[in-house]
């Protein structure tokens, strides 16, 4: 057995597991933070208690999601040192500052204003509270910006030089941060986060409408979610197309794997379904639409699309995972578009809140955003192989000198702990979503944190002092 290769595989599985588990929480919290900002602004504008109630309903869900996202993400930074120390040593001068900027800007904004957002409405006033809510939402977007800049640089490295020891040295930070794939990846990922939240909110709204179609809070959240589905999904499809064209320019082998093409074509077909076979270098049982692949990728019927055979064998990504993950992501995207169009038709007919089958469909589509973002992540990351820094540093060269049994033991521990701890967290989130959103009394000051130590002078103390002084006189 090749223990080096086994250790590499286990380390990749471990990182993929922790990232996948982590990514579902930021994908939800980014959209939820912006949703809360909109709800709070609508409350201040319209003074409709329903919006305030929805803000209170979703802020608890956001807080738990945010906390689980932070905790699950910490583990990955340790893995850079334990499993991928060679990568950290060679690329640390580039990725280290970018990840540090994420902590110094985004995380400080989120953590610093989160308490005010959760407990400060009556303590600091509505204006400052709204500012805190907006800052938290902005912080989540800033966090996504820095992290995606790091990830994009690994796909399309720029602004660097390599020293005599093989280390990446920053030369132009503007080119590093705004590398060729960054704008497309940032747009695509943030829109995906908004859609993830929209369909989760829509599912919760649909669930409560199926129980009571007169519930006004459920109507509001369902309507807002369906507006997002109808408006943002077409934009996301367009953004995904632009991201694909950028990937075709900089990572053509990834596109070949995603499309299941082994042979190069002028006028390539679109393979709807098949089973890529890297050993046989063909996609078995392929169902094709002639010329459509070239039309989508090059916007020309006879455009040339390079197949995997055009690249050396040791530079090809494995095709099976990107092929199926990409189709899951795209398929979910078009299902989202269908839900959005369906909701527009129901809204036009004034049956949005009575369309039971639409509600059932929206409920089923609740987890779709999470599945889509994970499928998209698998598409882009497996498609980058066999490199960590595309074209420059292989994954096999990035591994720490660790033994396979050690990596396997830590992987097993991660799986057990993650499923128990975060499984309990997800279960609690579902319980919170199961609550009926109804108008209730505002008890923020009762629920907020209280002073745990020290002495606060109070009226009784003041009276005692005063009486004592009077008696002394």
The whole-number pLDDT of residue 446 equals 47
Residue 439: pLDDT band by 50, 70, 90 thresholds? low
173 located within any domain: no
Domain containing 362 equals 191-396
Do the domain assignments include residue 241?
Answer: yes
What pLDDT score does 407 carry? 83
Q: Band of the pLDDT at 342, cuts 50, 70, 90?
A: very high
Say how far apart CA 261 and CA 244 lie, in whole Å: 15
d(CA 378, CA 370): 12
Check residue 346 and give its pLDDT.
92
**Six-digit token string for 449:** 């944190």
pLDDT value at residue 449: 52
Q: Indicate if the pLDDT at residue 335 is higher than 90.
A: yes
Residues 6+ apart with CB under 8 A from 238: none
Select from 233, 232, 187 the least CA-distant residue to 333.
233
User: Side-chain half-sphere of 362: how many Cα atoms within 13 Å?
Assistant: 39
pLDDT band at residue 473 under the 50/70/90 scheme = very low
Residues 6+ positions from 66 with CB-CB distance below 8 Å? 25, 29, 33, 110, 114
Percent of the chain at pLDDT > 70 equals: 92
Q: What are the pLDDT digits (tens) for 316-327?
A: 888 889 999 999
- The more confidently predicted of residues 224 and 299 is 224
d(CA 196, CA 33): 12
Structure tokens at 318: 């494995």
**295 domain-assigned:** yes
Q: What is the reported pTM?
A: 0.86
Per DSSP, what are the bridge partners of residue 282?
A: 277
The model's confidence at residue 99, banded by pLDDT at 50, 70 and 90, is: confident
CA distance 24 to 466: 59
d(CA 99, CA 77): 10
Q: Is residue 417 part of a domain?
A: no
Relative orientation angle of helices 182-211 and 368-384, to the nearest 10 degrees: 160
The distance of Cα 312 from the centroid of its chain, to the nearest Å, equals 33
The pLDDT, as a whole number, for residue 264 is 84
pLDDT of residue 184: 93
Question: What's the total number of domains in the chain?
Answer: 1
User: What is the model's pLDDT at position 82?
Assistant: 82
146 within domain boundaries = no
- Over residues 128-140, the pLDDT tens digits come to 989 999 999 998 8
Q: Is 182 exposed, middle or buried (0-12, 13-18, 19+ CB in 10 A)?
A: buried
CA 419 – CA 404 distance, rounded (Å): 22
The reply to whether 430 falls in a domain is: no
State the average pLDDT for the chain.
Answer: 85
- The span from the CA of 472 to the CA of 463, in Å, is 14
Distance CA 406, CA 370 (A): 31
Tens of pLDDT, residues 373-430: 999 989 999 989 889 898 888 888 888 888 888 888 888 888 888 888 888 888 888 8
Q: Determine the longest span between alpha carbons in the chain, in angstroms.
A: 104
386 preceded by a cis bond (ω within 30 of 0): yes
Residues in the chain: 473
Q: Is residue 19 part of a domain?
A: no
Q: Per the domain annotation, does 309 fall within a domain? A: yes
Question: Residue 394: beta bridge partners?
Answer: 387
The residue with greater pLDDT, 446 or 355, is 355
Of 153, 60, 147, nearest to 431 (Cα)? 60
């Amino acid at each position: 057995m090749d223990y080096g290769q086994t250790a590499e595989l286990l380390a990749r599985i471990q990182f993929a597991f922790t990232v996948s588990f982590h990514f579902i929480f930021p994908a939800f919290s980014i959209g939820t933070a912006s949703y809360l900002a909109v709800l709070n602004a609508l409350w201040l504008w319209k003074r409709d208690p329903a919006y305030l109630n929805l803000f209170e309903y979703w802020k608890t869900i956001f807080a738990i999601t945010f906390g689980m996202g932070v905790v699950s993400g910490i583990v990955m930074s340790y893995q850079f040192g334990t499993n991928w120390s060679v990568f950290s040593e060679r690329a640390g001068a580039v990725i280290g500052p970018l990840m540090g900027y994420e902590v110094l800007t985004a995380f400080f904004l989120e953590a610093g204003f989160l308490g005010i957002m959760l407990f400060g409405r009556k303590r600091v006033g509505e204006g400052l509270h709204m500012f805190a809510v907006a800052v938290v939402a902005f912080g989540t977007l800033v966090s996504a910006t820095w992290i995606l800049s790091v990830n994009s640089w690994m796909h399309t490295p720029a602004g660097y030089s390599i020293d005599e020891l093989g280390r990446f040295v920053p030369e132009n930070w503007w080119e590093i941060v705004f590398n060729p794939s960054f704008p497309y990846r940032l747009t695509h990922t943030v829109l995906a986060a908004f859609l993830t939240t929209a369909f989760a909110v829509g599912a919760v709204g649909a669930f409560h409408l199926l129980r009571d179609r007169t519930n006004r809070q459920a109507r509001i959240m369902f309507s807002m979610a369906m507006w997002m589905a109808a408006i943002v999904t077409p934009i996301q499809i367009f953004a995904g197309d632009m991201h694909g064209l950028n990937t075709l320019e900089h990572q053509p082998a990834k596109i070949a794997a995603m499309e299941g093409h082994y042979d190069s074509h002028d006028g390539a077909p679109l393979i709807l379904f098949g089973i890529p076979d890297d050993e046989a270098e063909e996609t078995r049982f392929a169902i094709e639409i002639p010329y459509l692949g070239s039309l989508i990728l090059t916007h020309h019927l006879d455009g040339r699309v390079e197949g995997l055979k055009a690249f050396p064998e040791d530079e090809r990504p494995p095709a099976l995972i990107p092929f199926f993950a990409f189709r899951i992501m795209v398929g979910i995207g078009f299902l989202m578009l269908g839900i959005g169009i369906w909701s527009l038709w129901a809204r036009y007919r004034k049956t949005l809140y009575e369309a039971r089958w639409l509600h059932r469909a929206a409920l089923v589509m609740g987890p779709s955003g999470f599945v889509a973002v994970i499928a998209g992540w698998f598409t882009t990351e497996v498609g980058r192989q066999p490199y960590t820094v595309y074209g420059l540093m292989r994954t096999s060269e990035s591994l720490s000198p660790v033994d396979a049994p050690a990596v396997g033991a830590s992987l097993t521990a991660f799986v057990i702990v993650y499923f128990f701890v975060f499984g309990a967290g997800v279960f609690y989130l579902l319980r919170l979503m199961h609550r009926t959103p109804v108008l209730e009394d505002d008890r923020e000051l009762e629920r907020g944190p209280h002073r745990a130590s020290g002495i606060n002078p109070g009226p009784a103390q003041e009276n005692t002092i005063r009486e004592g002084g009077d008696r002394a006189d």
